[in-house]
Every structure is written in C-alpha cells, then in structure tokens.
Amino acid sequence: MTMTRISERTARTIARVAVLAALGLGLTACQPGAPEPRNEAEDAAPATNSTALENDTKPETKSIIRPEIEPSPTPTPAPEPVMLTIAFPAKGAQPDAAGLAQLDGLIADPVYQMGGPVTLWGHSDSAGADAVNLAASRRRAEAVRDYLVGKGAPADRFTVIAMGEAQPIAPNRKRDGTDDPEGRDKNRRVEIKVDLPQPAPKTDAAAATVTN
C-alpha cells in the first residue's frame, strides 16, 4: 500500500510540473516583443525583391528616340562670290604691307582657290586731272593683278577696269571746302570680286546624247 501511494503521488507531481511548464511556455509566447514562431518553409524560401518582381511583370516601354537613326549632317552652305577692298597710300601705285596681307588672305580663301574669274576695279581720289586719276586707278588694279599672278594665278583669270575718281565712297573735301585726307584715303582703292567658276560648256557629244 505504501509503494502504491508513493507512485500515485509522484505521478501527480510530474503531471503538475508538465502543466506548469506548458503554462509557462504559453505566457512567454503571449508577451509583447516575443519572436513569432517561424515556419521552416519560410526559412528555407529565398527572400524576393518586390521591385524586381514589379520590373519583371511591368511591360517594356520603348523610347521615342530611335538610336539606330543617326542625326543628319548639317548641310554645307553653298559658296558665294568674295568681295574685298584694298586701300592704297597717297600717290601710291603699289599695295602697302596691310594690303599685301589682305591679298595673301584672299589667296587662301576656298572660293578663290576654286579658280573662278576675278574682276579688279581701280579707283582714285579727286586730286589731279581726270586723265591722271584714271591712269592711276588702272595702275593700282594692275598692281593687284600682277601680285596674284606672281602667286600662281593665270593672267587670263583677271579683268582690270579703271574707274578713276568717278565712284568715290567718301567725300574728297569737307563741307567748308577744305581737303578731307581721310576721305581721300578711302577713295584710293582697288575693289576685288571673285566669282564662282562657270560650268563647263556641253560638248557636241553630250548635246547629241541629250537630244537623242
């Protein structure tokens, strides 16, 4: 009888301990801040990026800019005739250093290098007789032609026109009748025009081909 009571008492004690342990685990789980129990499947599954999922499901949008089409090149402006004025010193028949520098710049101009015809107008101021001024203006234009020919241009490319004092671009005298040196300096000049090359005339064979 004594052993039986002791066994029953031990069994009841073990049962109480098990109940208390269970209650203790339940209270611990209910306390704030306690970690929630995790599922092994969740622990094993890799973390997914919501942004990546959105990018995968978002339809691809194409840019309105088409990279395969390159921008068209800027058109080259059409060449135009070149105009230049060379000033001459008083009673001078040859261009000075500044005038020669202008002529050298003209020689380097792409339009001049195309080989088109060149017209030279010589001018003078009003000091002296008309015939003297006309001759002086011709000598100035010829001096410009000779310089350009000396640099390699053919002589038949140039046309020389003597204007004398007929076309001043500034007054030779002031309104009170006195001399105007600055105006005379501007009137002593050679005007240059370089035209574009003329198209080559059609040959008889080309004309016959067009006619046929």
User: What are the structural domain ranges in the chain?
Assistant: 82-194
Place of tokens 């038949």: 156
pLDDT at 31 over 80: no
What residues have CB less than 8 Å from 23, skipping those under 6 apart? none
pLDDT of residue 56: 52
The fold adopted by the segment(s) 82-194 is 60s Ribosomal Protein L30; Chain: A; (3.30.1330)
Considering the entire predicted model, what is its pTM? 0.61
pLDDT at 192 over 90: yes
- Confidence class for position 90, pLDDT limits 50, 70, 90: confident
pLDDT at 39 over 60: no
Q: pLDDT tens for residues 153-163? A: 999 999 999 99
